């Protein structure tokens, strides 16, 4: 029982000594308030610059990653692309070119790749929707109802395309919400008709595409789309397009503009992408099909973002180093000014570790104050950057904790040498110092 009381009393005594040292250290810093404030400015700006630069880097990286995620991390995109040979030959006055994806490709992929969930064929055409005396440029998308399951979209009203529309070749259309404002600003949309190239299509649905998800399909203005059944588009538009140039006309046969292939999970995307590349290379020798795998782009963007953050953090950490050097300089000056005080404390029985603790407490108080002020400034700078420049910034908890830990560590590391130097002063020499 006596041993427990002794341990408890000793622990309480040590706590009192620590509190006394903390109060003493704060009082010593307040005696030279302006000097202490100027000392921590290096840490303040260092912490703030670390937070701000990481916020800018994280914001830019997050924006890029979000754009890639909208492409679909479980989707592989095949695009028809004009081969270089066809481009050179198209300089002739008349030329007929056949390239790109075919319906047979879609069938082969569906039968060969076991991990796919759905294959969505897409055929694109730029047209004009005639609306009384004016016309609106739109993108006509011939596809199936699965398009709206692969591309992120929200049904605003009506319905999307169905298999019956495809099988019966119904002249129906689904249009984007933005297009309805231009064509039917004061009218009911559902049941109205849009006229494309002499044909009328009954509007059965309105959709809203989420953000830039439509960048899955190349387009000039993807906010103004008209979706019609693929069978109807093939019947009314055919597969041959006449491209007119200066003194030349080129007929191009492209059956499909794109194939959107949705996989069962992200884990099979890489292997399926390699299998698709092998399959396409086997039947397309003109390099007229390109493969895009958003998941690979996502991983590459994440790796680039990590490197970017390391570079930005390293540059900003130089300010913390300068702040640490400032703390060491001031603490060395403080040791010189307080040499007589140190001698008196040693003469009345203070041990070296107590002297070291006293000076370390002062440096930790300085670094903590600098770190906290830097956090406040670091939170304000990203907001100001976003407000005045429009850049996306993202402050993470990781950057806040990292900056504060580094600032405290800098204070301890750079304050350790002055504290040890103070503890090694000879008491007799220190008492004689004036």
pLDDT tens, residue by residue, 223-234: 688 999 999 998
Residue from 367, 369, 373, 272 nearest 326 by CA: 367
pTM of the predicted model as reported, rounded to 2 decimal places: 0.62
Mean of per-residue pLDDT scores for the chain: 78
DSSP 339: H
Residue 27: other Cβ atoms inside 10 A? 10
Residue from 182, 177, 236 nearest 210 by CA: 177
Low-confidence ranges of the chain (pLDDT < 70): 1-32, 64-65, 67-71, 84-96, 131-134, 210-223, 241-250, 301, 312-313, 316-317, 427-434
Q: What's the rounded Cα separation, in Å, for the pair 369 and 317? A: 17
CA 150 vs CA 4, 85, 193, 371, 405: distances in Å: 70, 33, 26, 47, 45
pLDDT at 221: 38
pLDDT at 433: 59
Contact by Cβ (8 Å): 204, 158: yes
Tokens 């976003």 correspond to 386
């Amino acid at each position: 029982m006596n041993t427990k009381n002794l341990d408890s009393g000793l622990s309480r005594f040590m706590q009192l000594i620590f509190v006394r040292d903390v109060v003493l250290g704060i009082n010593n810093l307040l005696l030279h308030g302006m000097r202490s404030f100027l000392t921590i400015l290096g840490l303040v700006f260092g912490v703030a610059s670390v937070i701000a630069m990481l916020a800018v880097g994280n914001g830019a990286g997050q924006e890029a990653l979000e754009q890639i995620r909208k492409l679909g991390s479980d989707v592989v995109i095949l695009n028809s692309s004009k081969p270089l040979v066809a481009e050179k030959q198209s300089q002739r006055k008349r030329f007929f070119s056949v390239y790109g994806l075919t319906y047979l490709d879609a069938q082969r992929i569906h039968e060969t790749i076991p991990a796919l969930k759905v294959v969505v064929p897409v055929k694109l055409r730029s047209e004009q929707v005639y609306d009384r005396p004016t016309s609106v440029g739109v993108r006509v998308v011939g596809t199936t109802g699965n398009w709206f399951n692969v591309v992120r979209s929200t049904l605003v009203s009506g319905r999307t395309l169905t298999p019956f529309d495809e099988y019966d070749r119904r002249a129906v259309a689904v249009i984007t919400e933005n297009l309805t404002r231009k064509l039917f600003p004061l009218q009911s949309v559902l049941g109205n008709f849009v006229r494309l190239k002499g044909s009328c299509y009954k509007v059965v649905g309105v959709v809203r595409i989420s953000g830039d998800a439509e960048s899955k399909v190349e387009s000039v203005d993807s906010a103004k789309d008209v979706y019609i059944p693929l069978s109807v588009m093939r019947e009314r538009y055919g597969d041959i397009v006449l491209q007119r140039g200066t003194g030349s006309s080129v007929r191009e046969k492209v059956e499909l503009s794109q194939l959107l292939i949705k996989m069962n999970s992200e884990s099979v995307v890489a292997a399926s992408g390699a299998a698709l590349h092998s399959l396409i290379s086997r039947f397309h020798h003109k390099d007229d099909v390109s493969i895009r795998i958003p998941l690979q782009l996502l991983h590459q963007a994440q790796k680039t973002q990590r490197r970017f953050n390391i570079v930005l953090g390293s540059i900003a950490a130089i300010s913390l180093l300068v702040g640490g050097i400032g703390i060491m300089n001031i603490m060395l000056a403080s040791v010189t000014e307080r040499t007589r005080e140190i001698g008196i404390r040693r003469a009345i029985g203070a041990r070296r570790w107590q002297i070291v603790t006293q000076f370390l407490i002062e440096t930790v108080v300085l670094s903590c104050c600098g770190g906290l002020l830097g956090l406040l400034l670091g939170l304000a700078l990203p907001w100001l950057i976003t407000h005045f420049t429009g850049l996306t910034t993202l402050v993470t908890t990781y950057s806040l904790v990292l900056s504060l830990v580094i600032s405290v560590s800098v204070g301890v590391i750079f304050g350790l040498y002055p504290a040890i130097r103070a503890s090694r002063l000879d008491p007799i020499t220190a008492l004689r110092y004036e």
